[in-house]
Amino acid sequence: MTASRTGLWKPWLKRRLSRRTTQQTPVRIEVPDAAGTVSAQLDGDRALSLHERALKPRDLGPLASSIRRSAEESSRADRSLLLLLGNGSFHTADDSVAGKVADIPPLAVARATATTHRSDPVTATETRLFGPRAEVAWYFPIVYGGTVVGVIAVAWNDRRRARRADPRPLHQLAHTSALPLLTSLLFTQARDAEHDALRLVDAVSALSATHTSEEVANVACLHARKLARARMVRLIERDPSGNHAVLSSNPGSNHPSNRSLRLSSALLQAIEEGDVCLDESPHRRSLFVPVRADGEVVAVLQFDFPATSTGPSERMLRLCGAVATQTGVALERARRTDELQRLAITDSLTGLANRRQVLRDLQRETSRGIRTGEAVSIAMIDLDHFKAFNDHHGHVEGDRELRAFGHFLDASVRAMDSVGRYGGEEFLLVLPRAPLADAFSAVDRLRREWLDESNVSFSAGVAALREGETFTDLVIRADTALYRAKRAGRNRVETDDGKIVSLSTLEPSSTTPKIPS
């Protein structure tokens, strides 16, 4: 009888023991926590093992994947997601969902984050996040110390399977994985902050090595794009008229720089008010960060993000602001450098090239003329009786006369010509590709036209480059011709050989400088 009873119960005992053994098989989620190995009992039968040696806290992606797999195994769900809370919105920690998690039902997420002490799952009938086949979804909040870390979400394609599922293992999984997730999140944030700090240091170093405004614009856009992980970064400046913006730098784009842009409301607010503005469109998200120099908004950095991305975090806003600040400092330094360089080669009274610059231009043209065999002529010009004019009318009127004569010369010569103030009331005119006769004709025409505008005449000496001589020799011969013109009565043009070329004997030349009539 006993044997027969034992024989009758043996199949039932085998099934019971087999089921119990299966239920007690640990679901290994290979993640650590801050204290080391943690083992928790799930539903009295399943164990969740966290192994410190298996995975380091910094590996957030594999940690999230392991939690997802454990959620699917413990609930026998068709799909699972681990949603982490960051910057006020949820996002996936791995590549289980591409792009922004915008389809999470807001009501279900709000209930999930608020249901921290309930044992019932949060059920949602809207399951677009899991695909069209999902019918039921459960959301389990991951909370540690009152802080919502994220949400474990599982979904089934069949409602009947969802009814048979037990929520307790998932609640235990959410409770046990809270600390490892929080540790990994904090570690990831610290690592990202360190990388961002290094990128910011690189950006500051690169901006410090720039010299021109164009270099500043290109370097700022390239480093800002890496720092903000943006799709594109552009530097936009407002034109002096204030009616439109000018694109200064647009690296990595097929659109050219230095083109006019339409002033959108967000861009206009960033330029005029100096506010950080976010402009959202169906195709992209644009962040406009003002760039200041000496307290004034001189440009705007535009950060373009995909439309599916989440909004910029506070840290990202601070980083973008830091890049904008350093860009403003570099722009101001570059502009001051440009201004110093301009002042170093420009005569402050007339606006023409100063003596150093015009002699540099002459040296360049003479070297080119010697190399190519083309003609190069110069004219040394001096205003007649200018000391007497100053004594009679005063230095203020004298400065006005010099300024007017400088503007007259600058507006009358060709684009290839160079003109500069040599010293006092003397001016040097460099005429490349102009033979002696053509240069004489052009300068004498200038003399006659100047008399129509002023009572102060000028004398000039013209010389052409000869074979084997330097630019200094050329200047000496032109200066000698100038003094010959002054001794001959002033208000005239002389050549270095002492021969005054009759204008009627000159034939027109294509290289003759065109003087406006």
User: Which residues participate in catalysis according to the annotation?
Assistant: 425
DSSP-based three-state secondary structure for 232:
strand
- CA dist., res. 201 & res. 197, Å (int): 6
Q: Name the token pair of 106.
A: 């807001």
Task: Decide the pairing of beta strands 284-293 and 277-280.
Answer: antiparallel
Kindly report each contact of residues 258-264 with a partner whose C-beta sits within 8 Å and lies 24 or more positions away, as own/partner.
Answer: 261/236
- CA dist., res. 78 & res. 81, Å (int): 11
Please answer whether residues 101 and 129 qualify as being in contact, where contact means their C-beta atoms are separated by less than 8 angstroms.
yes
Task: Decide the pairing of beta strands 418-423 and 232-238.
Answer: unpaired
Residue type, 446: L
Q: What is the DSSP letter of 312?
A: P
CB neighbourhood size of 53 (10 A):
9
> Which residues are registered as beta bridge partners of 421?
427
Written as one string, the DSSP assignment of 410-448 is HHHS-TT-EEEEEETTEEEEEEET--HHHHHHHHHHHHH
DSSP-based three-state secondary structure for 45:
coil
Q: Which residues of 268-284 are buried (b: 16+ CB within 10 A; e: fewer)?
A: bbbbeeeebbebeeeeb
First-to-last C-alpha distance (Å) of the chain: 136
CB neighbourhood size of 14 (10 A):
10
Cα distances (Å, whole numbers) of residue 499 to 323, 437, 481:
66, 11, 10
CB neighbourhood size of 291 (10 A):
29
- CA dist., res. 222 & res. 91, Å (int): 27
